[in-house]
């Protein structure tokens, strides 16, 4: 290590210590991270007690994190970092990506197009339909849609013992013309968990924990980049203030009345980018 390190030269000294990294991308990413972290500390003239508070935040996040809950991902979500990584990878002409969230689980039941979800459960019925297309608007054959949502009370099956894991999620193979359709209930807005360090941070920043109501989709097809995204009904009060910054204009959809029924209809086409 170089002698005579001062508040400025320390940054280059740390970056120089990465010279032996076997992987060029690791070196590039870590060098940029150190440069920005050091610039940040210099910019705010970071105090030791503030550094200790940051370490305490991370320690508390580690304590509350387990298989079912990851406070580090939640911190990334509420700071817009998860959404930024999605925005950086959203391809031109393709449906924008949005957060996965903690409630996706493998093993959803297989359903055929036209499936009616949870017919006995409370909530306004919504008929969702559309097609899976490429960026030129041609149907994508062989697309599989993974779907999950909160119910009319804003709760996922993992949070609500009255739901079964089959009620509000499925895997569906779209038709060869890319068409998919299902009927469900209108989901409600809900709060992200705020009983841990991320909740304390939100309160300190004068923020709430609400997400606008949404449907989650993960769409996969051979030869195309997998798409994880969300669709948001347009009349939600939290649309402009999502706690995790997941809303994109192209993901907001209108709920239209279905003539002669109490049901609503939501039409949404997915546009997939080719795999890189």
- Judged by CB under 6 A, the residue of 102, 113, 139, 226 near ligand BEZ is 102
Kindly state the smallest distance separating residue 245's Cβ from ligand BEZ, in Å: 10
Residue 95, H or E segment: none
72 binds ligand BEZ (CB under 6 A): no
Q: How many residues does the chain have?
A: 276
Extended beta strands in the chain, E state: 110-111, 115-116, 125-134, 144-149, 169-173, 179-185, 190-191, 210-211, 215-220, 227-233, 252-253, 256-257, 264-267, 270-272
One residue of 31, 97, 101, 266 binding ligand BEZ per CB under 6 A? 101
Residue 132 binds ligand BEZ, judged by CB under 6 A: no
Residue 74 touches which member of Fe ion, ligand BEZ, none, C-beta under 5-8 Å by kind: ligand BEZ
Partner from ligand BEZ, Fe ion, none binding residue 72, C-beta < 5-8 Å depending on class: none
* 5 three-state secondary structure: coil
Decide if 217 contacts 270 (C-beta within 8 A): yes
In the block, tokens 């279905």 appear at 258
User: Which of 244, 247, 251, 264 touches ligand BEZ by CB under 6 A?
Assistant: 244
Integer Cα distance of 56 and 43 in angstroms: 22
Q: Where does residue 122 fall: left (phi above 0), alpha (psi -120 to 50 degrees), or beta otherwise?
A: beta
Kindly state whether residue 77 participates in binding ligand BEZ, applying the rule CB under 6 A: yes
| 97 binds ligand BEZ per the rule CB under 6 A | no
Q: Which stretch binds ligand BEZ (CB under 6 A): 33-41, 97-105, 221-229, 263-271?
A: 97-105
Instruction: Check if the beta carbon of residue 95 is closer than 8 Å to that of residue 272.
Output: yes
When asked if residue 101 is in the footprint of Fe ion (CB under 5 A), the reply is yes
Question: Binding residue for ligand BEZ (CB under 6 A) from 127, 155, 211, 248?
Answer: 211
- Listing DSSP states for 33-59 in one string gives HHHHHHHHHHHHT--HHHHHHHHHHHH
Among 31, 34, 74, 227, indicate the residue that binds ligand BEZ (CB under 6 A). Answer: 74
Question: Which residues of this chain interact with Fe ion, rule CB under 5 A?
Answer: 101
| Sites of contact with ligand BEZ (CB under 6 A) | 74, 77, 99, 101-103, 192, 211, 244
């Amino acid at each position: 290590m170089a002698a005579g390190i001062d508040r400025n030269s320390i940054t280059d000294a740390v970056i120089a210590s990465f010279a032996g990294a076997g992987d060029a991308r690791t070196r590039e990413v870590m060098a940029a991270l150190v440069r920005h972290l050091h610039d940040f500390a210099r910019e705010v003239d970071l105090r030791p007690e503030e550094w200790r508070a940051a370490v305490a935040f991370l320690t508390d996040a580690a304590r509350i994190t387990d298989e079912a809950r990851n406070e580090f991902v939640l911190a990334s979500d509420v700071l817009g970092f998860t959404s930024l990584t999605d925005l950086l990878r959203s391809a031109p002409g393709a449906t924008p990506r949005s957060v996965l969230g903690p409630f996706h689980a493998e093993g959803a039941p297989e359903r055929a197009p036209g499936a009616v979800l949870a017919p006995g459960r409370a909530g306004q019925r919504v008929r969702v339909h559309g097609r899976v297309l490429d960026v030129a608007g041609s149907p994508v054959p062989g697309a599989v849609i993974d779907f999950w949502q909160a119910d009319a009370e804003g709760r996922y099956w993992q949070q609500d013992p009255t739901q079964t894991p089959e009620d509000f999620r499925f895997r569906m193979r779209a038709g060869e013309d890319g068409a998919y359709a299902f009927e469900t209930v209108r989901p409600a807005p809900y709060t992200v968990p705020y009983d841990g360090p991320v909740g304390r941070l939100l309160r300190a920043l004068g923020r709430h924990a609400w997400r606008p109501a949404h449907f989650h989709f993960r769409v996969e097809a051979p030869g195309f980049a997998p798409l994880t995204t969300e669709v948001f009904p347009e009349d939600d009060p939290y649309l402009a203030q999502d706690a995790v910054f997941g809303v994109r204009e192209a993901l907001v959809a209108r709920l239209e009345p279905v003539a002669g029924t109490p049901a609503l209809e939501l039409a949404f086409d997915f546009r997939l980018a080719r795999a890189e």
